[in-house]
Structure 1
Amino acid sequence: MASSSGLSPVARPWVLLLVLALLQCSSAQFCSFWNNGCIDPLAQTAVSFNFQPLFTDPIYLYYGFDASSSGKGEGPMTKTGFWLRYEDRHVNKDAIEHNKTSEVALRVGNMTATPSGTHNGCDGIWGFECSNELKSAVQHSMFHLASSGFYYDRPLQKTLEHMLLSPPDLPHCGPFVLDVATIPVQDFAKEGTDQNVTVMPSGSGSHPWQVWYLDDMTAHQQASQVAVGIITRGPTYDSPPPISPDEIQVELVCLQAPQSPPSGSSKGHD
């Protein structure tokens, strides 16, 4: 006999599972503005770049932001996030010789232009000479760190902290390149001398790698900003220091979120 609900006892568990799945899907599509463990991007973009020899296929840098017109109640605010996506099965273990850490950082703020040209779009922002100077500055700073004997955890993170406190001489760049309060960093691959490598799972809007907030920034203002990715592969503390700075891999990626967010789309999430 059929139940009063019109469903047989066998069918009801399947309906319950379907409802739960639909609820999970709907909840995954929304992330509170104040939840820093996820991001519901008002605008999002991604750029592919090569990171050989460790990754045989191109990998993607994702950048997106959400916005609130009220922020902390004193003005507009944006919520920024980034992550990488790649095929971790395509890591080239033959490229592993020493203990190394790969990291990605994203710089946002005080820079508007249109990405174009070489160095993954960065030359169109500040010119070929500046791209080379910035890469060289990161290489030399990481080289000195690795040769110093002082303990460090993440070489790029430590390097950028030092560069923000004591900006290097970048005559073709200008002071604006490092004129930001913070540059969030995330490590994503750790190599061992036994040719083992631990790769962080690819990120997503539900699982961004880094999320932070920018005060007094509207959605329109952030849409005009250039985000600069700095991706490195450098020696860990317990690795033999490199012979020269050129052994430290540094890649630059410049990208920009869509220029025209829908009008009135700035959100005031609770």
Structure 2
Amino acid sequence: MAFNSGLSPIVKPWVLLLLLALLQCSSAQFCSFLNNGCIDPLAQTAVSFDFQPLFTDPIYFYYGFDASSSGKGEGPMTKTGFWLRYQDRHVNKDAINQNMTSEVALRVGNMTATPSGTNNGCDGVWGTRCSNDIKFAIQQTIFLLSSSGRYYDRPLQKALEHMMLVPPHLPNCVSFVFDVAAIPVQEFAREGDDQNVIVMPSGSGERPWQVFYLDDMTDHQQASQVAVGIITRGPSHNSPPPMSPNEIQVELVCLQAPQSPPSGSSSKDHD
């Protein structure tokens, strides 16, 4: 049976346009503050760094945060997200010769400075010697882990858990480098036999790789914080341990989100 809409041919195109507009509006996702599957950044920044030999092109580290004056009803809170963007088709398969895992982590809290200089801005925060101390401590911890024979899934995540519990000796650094409540970690590439590699799709604000919340933190307080990215490429559990810690790749990235408007003018109060 034919269905008669009762609409004239002149009206139908306008109705279609209206329906399309409504569909577009309904498809636009608004990310609420307590939704940890996305982030609507109040402030966001990115910095590029090299991660050769696995990636032939520079990688972009993205960091952003949202803020709420009421959080979960108990005071100010910020919502932080991070992800990487890269050309996943530009992976250098000639660099793959054993099982390796690449991970990225973000440290935020109790550190204010101005990123600048080498080591992707970190030397201007704590000095070249401290950057070298941190990189070697991570290399050494992953090296000992890979040589222990104990099972582990993600080398950087396991190493950071240990370093937060038992802070390493960092003679040229301040003592609180690893003194934070959490350092979220995300695996983004896993290499296997026969030059096979699985690379995680690039992230975005709609698909951040990790989202976490900081209590009693205002937008201005977080804008003054230095965000420290830690990126590693280390041996997977089923890979022969390296001959020395120096074979484990560690990159540091230090960045700061742009200063936001005065608190109260743009802080989010949505649930």
The interval holding the TM-score normalised by the smaller chain is: over 0.9
- The CA distance in 1 between the partners of 2:89 and 2:261, in whole Å, is 36
In 1, the alpha carbon distance for the partners of 2:97 and 2:232 equals: 16
Please give the TM-score of this superposition, normalised by the length of structure 2.
0.94
Distance in structure 1 (CA, Å) of the matches to 2:144 and 2:261? 43
Would you say the 8 A contact 2:99–2:236 is kept in 1? yes
Tell me if the contact between 2:69 and 2:269 (Cα under 8 Å) persists in the aligned partners.
Answer: yes
Q: Residue in 2 aligned with 1:7?
A: 11
The equivalent of 1:215 in structure 2 is 215
Where does residue 269 of structure 2 map in the other structure? Answer: 268
Residues 107, 182 of structure 2: 8 Å contact kept: yes
Q: What is the DSSP-based 3-state SS (H/G/I as helix, E as strand, rest coil) of the residue aligned with 2:108?
A: strand
Task: Find the residue that maps to 1:109 and give its secondary structure.
Answer: coil
The runs of 5 or more residues in structure 2 that have no matched partner are: none
Name the counterpart of 1:192.
192
Partner of 1:20: 23
Q: Secondary structure at the match of 1:177?
A: coil
Secondary structure of the residue aligned to 2:203 is: coil
Question: Which residue of 1 is the match for residue 252 of structure 2?
Answer: 252
For 2:177, the equivalent position in structure 1 comes to: 177
Corresponding residue for residue 142 of structure 1 = 142
Measure, in 1, the Cα distance between the counterparts of 2:42 and 2:138: 32
Task: Note the C-alpha offset of 1:176.
Answer: 1.7
- 2-structure distance, mates of 1:233, 1:13: 52
Q: For residues 234-260 of structure 1, what are the alpha-carbon distances to aligned partners after superposition, in whole Å with 9 as ceiling and x for unaligned?
A: 000001110100000000000000023
Residues 12-38 of structure 1: per-residue CA shift (max 9 Å, x gap):
6676445323431x32xx210000000
Contact 1:83 1:204 in 2 (8 A): yes
Q: What is the rounded CA distance, in whole Å, between the counterparts of 1:17 and 1:93 in structure 2?
A: 44
User: Partners in 1 of 2:194 and 2:88 — Cα distance?
Assistant: 18
| Structure 2 counterpart SS, 1:94 | helix
CA gap of 1:75–1:11, structure 2 versus 1, over 3 A, is closer
For these two proteins, the number of residue pairs brought into alignment is: 266
Percent pairwise identity: 75
Q: What amino acid is aligned across from residue 232 of structure 1 in structure 2?
A: T
Letter of the 1:130 counterpart: C
Ranges of 4+ aligned residues in structure 1 off by more than 6 Å: none
Matched position secondary structure for 2:111: strand
Using the size of structure 1 for normalisation, the TM-score is 0.94
In structure 2, give the amino acid aligned to 1:89.
R
Structure 1: stretches of 5+ with no match in the other structure:
none
Write the letter of the residue equivalent to 1:20: L
The residue number in structure 1 matching 2:126 is 126
